[in-house]
Amino acid sequence: MLKVTDISKTFFKGTTNEKKALSHLSLTLNDGDFCTVIGSNGAGKSTLLNSIAGAYIPDSGTIEINGHDVTKVSEYKRAKYIGRVFQDPLKGTAAGMQVEENLIIASRRGESRRLRWAFSSGDHEKFRDMVARLGLGLEDRLSTRIGLLSGGQRQALTLLMATLKKPDILLLDEPTAALDPKTAGKVLKITDEIVHEQHLTTLMITHNMRDALKYGNRLIMMNSGTIIADYSPEEKQKLTIDDLLKKFEETSGAMSDRVLLG
């Protein structure tokens, strides 16, 4: 369960560059909720995810993950609770290391550094089966350096790595924005399968309204650092793109050109 209570974050406070990114935002996700996040540019979506991950510490408010108050816990220390996939396929995996080496490190998340490199018997077969299900031809490339893979292959691997050890919260920040539509569809389908199989509590930012409606059981819309609409599973089932467009127009006046119909 994720409980964000009344968080605010202002960058460059008290200067001419002051930017209020989050303003008294509260959000609760129950176990297994898959919540998509939409909103215009600068609405505060990434700042929300970064605050949950610990990259930014909010000026006020609290963040709890499965009952642990992590508000002031460093990003490094709270990483044991969190799986992340970034917009940039170059993040999330180590380019100079082999596919298998990346997977072994991910599977030892939270364990002593000394043990992280130790392969156990069966690891090779396990990793082979795991990457085979991605359907991206990686099962015969376990010893390939990650830097040689395509963006889609890298994002799918980052997703596998982020969920290899079940995270309490999975944060997806526009994970398919840099991919071509066909590969993006494939990666989202795999994401959806993994989230359901593992019953993962998930937040996914997207600029694609069709994806925001298609995936997950919850949807929130952000504007000016706050949540302006929070649709329950029952409400989301009935929600249409027209409803979302109307809500956008009501609140922000105009549609952001980066909120796409897909």
Ligand X SMILES: Nc1ncnc2c1ncn2[C@@H]1O[C@H](COP(=O)(O)OP(=O)(O)OP(=O)(O)O)[C@@H](O)[C@H]1O
Quick one: CA torsion of 75, 6, 205, 28, rounded to 10 degrees? Answer: 100
Round to whole Å and give the CA distance between 82 and 115.
20
Stretch that binds ligand X, among 43-51, 133-141, 189-197, 237-245 (CB under 6 A): 43-51
CB of 117 to ligand X, least distance (A): 33
- Please tell me whether residue 39 binds ligand X under the rule CB under 6 A: yes
Stretch that binds ligand X, among 44-52, 140-148, 156-164, 181-189 (CB under 6 A): 44-52
Residue 145, Cβ density class (10 Å: 0-12 exposed, 13-18 middle, ≥19 buried): middle
CB of 87 to ligand X, least distance (A): 8
Round to whole Å and give the CA distance between 240 and 245.
9
Window 94 to 123, contacts with ligand X (CB under 6 A): none
Stretch that binds ligand X, among 40-48, 62-70, 93-101, 241-249 (CB under 6 A): 40-48
Q: In what order do the strands lie in the sheet with 218-223?
A: 82-85, 169-173, 202-205, 34-39, 218-223, 226-231
Stretch that binds ligand X, among 41-49, 72-80, 109-117, 176-184 (CB under 6 A): 41-49
Q: Which is nearer to ligand X, 6 or 193 (CB)?
A: 6
CB of 17 to ligand X, least distance (A): 7
Round to whole Å and give the CA distance between 4 and 101.
35
- Please tell me whether residue 141 binds ligand X under the rule CB under 6 A: no
CB of 45 to ligand X, least distance (A): 3
Query: For every residue of 12-34, which 3-state class applies, written as one string?
Result: CCCCCCCEEEEEEEEEEECCCCE
- Please tell me whether residue 206 binds ligand X under the rule CB under 6 A: no
Round to whole Å and give the CA distance between 246 and 243.
5
Residues 38, 43, 103, 209: which binds ligand X (CB under 6 A)? 43
Round to whole Å and give the CA distance between 100 and 242.
45
CB of 21 to ligand X, least distance (A): 3
Window 7 to 36, contacts with ligand X (CB under 6 A): 11, 19, 21
For 150, the 3-state DSSP assignment is: coil
Q: Give the footprint of ligand X on this chain (CB under 6 A).
A: 11, 19, 21, 39, 41-47
